[in-house]
Structure 1
Amino acid sequence: MNRYLAQLTLGLLLTLLALNCTANTDWQELSTNQQAILTPFKDNWHTLEQTQQTRLLLAAERWNTMSPKQKQHAAERLKKWRTLDGNQKRAVRQRLQEFRSLPEKDRARIRSQFRKFQALPEHKKQKLKERWKKMSPDQRRKSVDRSRQKKESNRR
């Protein structure tokens, strides 16, 4: 009898835990700080899936650890993201997925090149962007290949 009662209690406890894990968080349960950060989601918070709420809560925690400069950069990126249409967002997600699937060595190389690009004066960055936009896909590919060959020959 005791064993049956223990099993029943354990089963009920696990069920309650499972329900608690899948239940959405009420807006009122959020801290004042979380509510302030997540205000844009207030009106539809109750309609978001639990996984979306969790992601947003984690993002709010990250926000709290950012410097003012990082917050400004993140806000600018979010503003730009919101201007993209569905197809553009899908393309960005696909490129991110492709980047994440690259070997670590390639990702490190790309990050390094991006940091170098970011360090350039604004007028040089703009000039490179314009030149890149004018290239056909084939020209872009050839340019990237030439750059890789040049780097490899410099290493030797």
Structure 2
Amino acid sequence: MSSLKSAAVFALAATVASFAGAQAPVAAPSPAPAAAVKTAPAKALDKPLWASLSPAQKVALEPLAVEWDKMEGVRKHKWLEIANRFSSMKPDEQARMHEKMREWVQMTPEQRRLVRENYTRAKRIDATQKSEQWEKYQQLPEEQKQKLAAEAAAARTKKQLTNLPPPAQAGAKTVAPIKRSVPPAAACPAGTMINTAASTPPCVAAPATPPPGSPAAPAPNVK
């Protein structure tokens, strides 16, 4: 009887121990250390920067001042090519170029990409057309080539003459002709007259005149 009680006690103790083990909380694994977040280095700005441009280049590229430092290097060099010949443009051409720059600044990246693609396509077509025209020119007879060359030279000459600036009229002064000072008639003594042929001497001898009442010389008798 006592042995049965002991066995029952041991069984109950084993059951309680197994139940307690099942209810024991499982320790959560320690969290792995957070990986260090790597920040990408800031992209270096392509040169030249706005501060390094010459005064003339800044004047030519003034509408692009805000966007300049953020541009790609290839795009900067394209604009610099225009800036280097900006001073040789006429005032109306300079105004049109500045207007194009302002329009470009206001475009979105997608619009700028389309503009570049259209420009590249147009240049490619233009180069193809020039090549075709050159091949056609080579097939012309020599007389026709000389005629076309003469017409082109005449057109260039006419254009140059048309583009000549008009003569400056503002501030131009008309030079009055130099008048020779003539002494008054009273300054010449009797028997002389004013010398109209030169400035010196002012008076010359007057031609001899016959005294009044003297007979005129008879005309020669021509037989």
Mark yes or no: TM-score above 0.5.
no
TM-score w.r.t. the length of structure 1 is 0.39
Tell me the TM-score normalised to structure 2 length.
Answer: 0.30
